[in-house]
């Protein structure tokens, strides 16, 4: 019923204005920035000149940066893929490990903390001036290089930071596998390891490749980690090179950076498209099958995987937070942490004395909160228009909506500069160097994020209620307010909170869009570290982690009102008995065959 395309009589009572709104939003936030970037790369100065783009792409600095981007993205993916997959297999719905939900929450929390905060934490964790190492007496000799600076540090931090992305994709794949697969294997006498190796992993292969591609794309477009760990030793990736050229030479380099941005965008879009195709192709279809339940009873041996999970959480979350806290609690960076040196002065400085930091916190709360509120408001009519009114065209519209999120943040920032550098037609007002250009970039980048839980909820609303209301004379606005909005409100709030989480401390977009008076907290943190005020930067980072954690906890509380699987750290089978508590039942032939049917693509 939910996939049924509404009839013409249903649309006669309203909807075409809503379709126009959806089309306008897709064009303004996704198509227009991508088109403007392409135009600037191919038509520098308004004249078609592909040679200029070729020269920009084949310059020595561009080739070196492209090599650095590809090798750090590839090698970090080789770290993130097995780590994230192992965490998914242990924490998802296979084993009876204890504390699965808390561990999942903490693991996902590590990727919700902005990359520059994680990079700063690992930078302060190692090296001769590390407060933790100095406290333990393990610091390297004074004057030695920090091992986190350069290629190796970038690969390590990118891999650890993107492992939860792999975890989310693999967990989603596991949730799609029907219980009939396990029941059939158990009837054949297969042990848990053989079930995993011979039955589950072949079904998860498309998700495994898709997760690897997503981790690779995240590595290609990451700015915060290479900027903090690579730029000090002149190891530049493409996003950092784009930032340096624009910040050093201004709009005179707009053609060159557009070409470089187009290269990064092309790599990202191709990889994401391939990932989506792979995860949709050959996906199993649950239909009426029960979802997967824990079937691997570890008993006394579960202490080993629990230790593994604990070590991963220590490395990806606990150690970085302790590193930031230790750096923030000492009077100056490099001093050992002790009862005699501990101080809260850095927190007082950044939260009460420094005008720029206070202004940056206020700006980030306003910009990210305002964008999140607008996205939550837009999400409900957008989801309704996509699901109810667009029919098969919604697949194209949903794909276009992903463009701005797929584009690396630094590339989207370049596109926004190109769009708003000159005054807007008709009104003659320029958004460049104003807060509105940052808000526009946030709206464009995180629209698809805010929309996902609302789309999932919209697909579960029975269209029969709306048809009955339409027959009684209710117009579209009344149907949206009385029937759709009450059901989708929790999902809209969750989508807005998710957008706020990602926007609050981001750096990749605002690094090129801020101006005097519009600094965001991500920009201030980066500038403090660049200025050598490491302890103050750490204090800012600790506050950022606290805000993100609170927002995540609020999201977790909302989880009970959301569609199943809307939050990646919540299992669809929480509270259910594991498989061993149920008798083995032979699956009938239609259910066993259901796993062979490909799942239809849903936008």
Q: Return the H-helix or E-strand segment holding 475.
A: none
CA-based nearest residue to 492, from 453, 445, 444, 436: 453
Task: For residue range 146-186, list pLDDT tens digits in order.
Answer: 899 999 999 999 999 999 999 988 888 887 777 777 778 77
At 280 the pLDDT is: 64
- Model confidence, pTM: 0.84
Kindly provide the b/e burial profile for residues 72-85, where b requires at least 16 CB atoms within 10 angstroms of the residue's own CB.
bbebbbebbbebbb
Average pLDDT over residues 196-204: 81
In a domain, 53, yes or no: no
Q: What is the DSSP string of 103-163?
A: HHHHHHHHHHS-HHHHHHHHHHHSSTT-HHHHHHT-PPPTTPPPTTSSHHHHHHHHHHHHH
3-state secondary structure of 325: helix
Say which range, 115-124, 259-268, 473-482, has the weakest mean pLDDT.
473-482
Question: Is the same domain home to 398 and 529?
Answer: yes
Question: Is the same domain home to 311 and 375?
Answer: no
Question: Is the same domain home to 555 and 426?
Answer: yes
Average pLDDT over residues 200-213: 86
Above 50 in pLDDT, residue 597? no
In a domain, 253, yes or no: yes
Average pLDDT over residues 230-239: 92
CA gap 559, 102 in Å, rounded: 14
Question: Is the same domain home to 513 and 434?
Answer: yes
- Do the Cβ atoms of 145 and 537 come closer than 8 Å? no
Above 60 in pLDDT, residue 552? yes
In a domain, 576, yes or no: no
In a domain, 571, yes or no: no
At 185 the pLDDT is: 77
Q: Which two tokens stand for residue 274?
A: 């391939």
Question: Is the same domain home to 327 and 278?
Answer: yes
Say which range, 35-39, 48-52, 65-69, 536-540, has the weakest mean pLDDT.
48-52
Question: Is the same domain home to 37 and 63?
Answer: no
Task: For residue range 495-516, list pLDDT tens digits in order.
Answer: 899 899 999 988 888 988 998 8
At 570 the pLDDT is: 67
Residue with tokens 């079930």, as numbered in its chain? 195
How many independent structural domains does the chain possess? 2
Above 70 in pLDDT, residue 600? no
At 175 the pLDDT is: 78
Q: Which residues contact 497 (CB under 8 A, 6 or more apart)?
A: 372, 551, 554, 555, 558
Task: For residue range 65-89, list pLDDT tens digits in order.
Answer: 999 999 999 999 999 999 999 998 8
Question: Is the same domain home to 349 and 235?
Answer: no
Provide the CATH number for the domain around residue 399.
1.10.3720.10
Average model confidence (pLDDT) for the chain? 82
In a domain, 572, yes or no: no
Average pLDDT over residues 301-329: 92
Question: Is the same domain home to 368 and 267?
Answer: no
In a domain, 602, yes or no: no
Task: For residue range 510-544, list pLDDT tens digits in order.
Answer: 988 998 889 999 999 999 998 888 899 999 999 99
Q: Work out the angle at residue 72's Cα, subtended by the Cα atoms of residues 406 and 130, and round it to the nearest 5 degrees.
A: 110
Question: Is the same domain home to 549 and 427?
Answer: yes
At 544 the pLDDT is: 94
Question: Which sign does the torsion angle of CA 164, 170, 172, 175 carry?
Answer: negative
* Residue 142 or 453, more confident: 453
Bridge partners of residue 291, in order along the sequence: 178
In a domain, 199, yes or no: yes
In a domain, 86, yes or no: yes
Output phi, psi for 236, to 5 deg: -105, 130
| Listed ranges 209-223, 467-481, 572-586; the one with the highest mean pLDDT | 209-223
Q: Return the H-helix or E-strand segment holding 199.
A: none
Q: Which residues contact 92 (CB under 8 A, 6 or more apart)?
A: 170, 171, 174, 175, 571
Above 60 in pLDDT, residue 55? yes
pLDDT over 90 for what percent of the chain?
33
Above 70 in pLDDT, residue 577? no
Average pLDDT over residues 367-395: 88
Q: Alpha helices of 385-516 — where are they, by DSSP H? A: 393-401, 403-406, 409-420, 435-458, 463-471, 476-479, 485-504, 510-513
At 279 the pLDDT is: 63
At 583 the pLDDT is: 42
Question: Is the same domain home to 348 and 236?
Answer: no
Above 70 in pLDDT, residue 564? no
- Do the Cβ atoms of 313 and 306 come closer than 8 Å? no
Cβ-defined contacts of 432-437 (< 8 Å, 24+)? 433/515, 433/518, 434/515, 434/518, 435/363, 435/366, 435/367, 435/518, 437/513
Question: Is the same domain home to 172 and 319?
Answer: yes
Above 80 in pLDDT, residue 13? no
Q: Which residues contact 298 (CB under 8 A, 6 or more apart)?
A: 95, 96, 97, 305
Q: Which two tokens stand for residue 454?
A: 């609302």
Average pLDDT over residues 39-48: 80
Average pLDDT over residues 409-419: 88
Question: Is the same domain home to 108 and 32?
Answer: no
CA gap 449, 502 in Å, rounded: 9
Burial of 511 per CB tally in 10 Å (0-12, 13-18, 19+):
buried
Range of the domain at 107: 59-342+585-597
Average pLDDT over residues 266-293: 66
3-state secondary structure of 291: strand
Average pLDDT over residues 18-36: 88
Average pLDDT over residues 433-462: 89
- Do the Cβ atoms of 157 and 118 come closer than 8 Å? yes
């Amino acid at each position: 019923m939910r996939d049924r395309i509404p009839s013409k009589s249903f649309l006669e009572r309203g909807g075409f204005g809503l379709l126009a709104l959806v089309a306008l939003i897709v064009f303004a936030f996704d198509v227009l920035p991508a088109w403007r970037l392409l135009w600037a790369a191919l038509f520098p100065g308004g004249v078609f000149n592909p040679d200029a783009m070729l020269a920009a792409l084949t310059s020595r600095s561009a080739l070196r940066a492209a090599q650095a981007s590809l090798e750090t993205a590839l090698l970090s993916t080789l770290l993130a893929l097995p780590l994230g997959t192992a965490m998914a297999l242990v924490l998802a719905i296979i084993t009876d490990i204890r504390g699965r939900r808390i561990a999942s929450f903490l693991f996902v929390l590590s990727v919700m903390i902005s990359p520059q905060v994680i990079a700063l934490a690992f930078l302060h964790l190692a090296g001769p001036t590390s407060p933790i190492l100095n406290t333990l007496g393990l610091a390297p000799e004074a004057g030695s290089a920090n091992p986190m600076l350069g290629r190796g540090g970038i690969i390590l931090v990118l891999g650890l930071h993107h492992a939860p992305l792999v975890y989310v994709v693999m967990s989603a794949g596991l949730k799609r596998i029907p219980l009939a697969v396990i029941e059939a294997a158990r009837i054949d006498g297969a042990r848990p390891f053989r079930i995993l190796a011979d039955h589950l992993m072949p079904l998860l292969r498309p998700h495994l490749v898709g997760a690897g591609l997503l981790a690779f794309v995240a590595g290609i477009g990451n700015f915060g980690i290479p900027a903090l760990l690579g730029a000090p030793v002149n190891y530049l990736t493409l996003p950092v090179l784009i930032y340096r050229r624009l910040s050093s030479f201004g709009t005179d380099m707009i053609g060159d950076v557009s070409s470089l941005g187009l290269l990064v965008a092309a790599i990202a879009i191709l990889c994401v498209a391939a990932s989506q195709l792979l995860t949709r192709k050959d996906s199993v279809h649950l239909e009426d099958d029960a979802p997967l339940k824990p079937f691997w009873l570890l008993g006394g041996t579960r202490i080993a995987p629990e230790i593994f999970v604990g070590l991963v959480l220590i490395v990806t979350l606990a150690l970085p937070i302790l590193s930031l806290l230790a750096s923030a609690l000492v009077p100056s960076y490099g001093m050992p942490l002790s009862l005699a040196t501990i101080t809260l002065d850095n927190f007082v400085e950044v939260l009460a004395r420094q005008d720029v930091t206070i202004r940056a916190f206020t700006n980030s709360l306003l910009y990210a909160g305002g964008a999140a509120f607008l996205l939550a408001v837009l999400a409900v009519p957008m989801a309704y228009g996509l699901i109810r009114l667009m029919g098969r065209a919604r697949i194209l519209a949903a794909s276009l909506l992903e463009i701005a999120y797929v584009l690396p943040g630094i590339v989207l920032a370049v596109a926004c500069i190109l769009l708003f550098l000159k005054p807007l037609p008709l009104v003659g007002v320029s958004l460049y160097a104003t807060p509105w250009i940052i808000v526009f970039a946030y709206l464009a980048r995180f629209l698809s994020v805010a929309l996902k839980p609302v789309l999932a909820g919209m697909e579960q609303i029975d269209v029969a209620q709306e048809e009955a209301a339409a027959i009684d004379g209710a117009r579209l606005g009344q149907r949206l307010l009385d029937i759709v909005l009450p059901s989708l409100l929790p999902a809209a709030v969750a989508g807005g909170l998710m957008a706020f989480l990602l926007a609050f401390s981001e750096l990749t977009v605002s690094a090129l869009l801020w101006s005097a008076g519009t600094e965001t907290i991500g920009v201030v943190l980066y500038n403090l570290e660049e200025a050598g005020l490491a302890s103050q930067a750490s204090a800012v980072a600790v506050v950022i982690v606290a805000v993100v954690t609170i927002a995540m906890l609020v999201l977790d509380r909302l989880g009970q009102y959301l569609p199943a699987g809307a939050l990646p750290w919540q299992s669809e089978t929480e509270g259910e008995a594991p498989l061993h508590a149920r008798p083995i039942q032979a699956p009938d032939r239609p259910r066993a065959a259901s796993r062979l049917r490909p799942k239809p693509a849903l936008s």
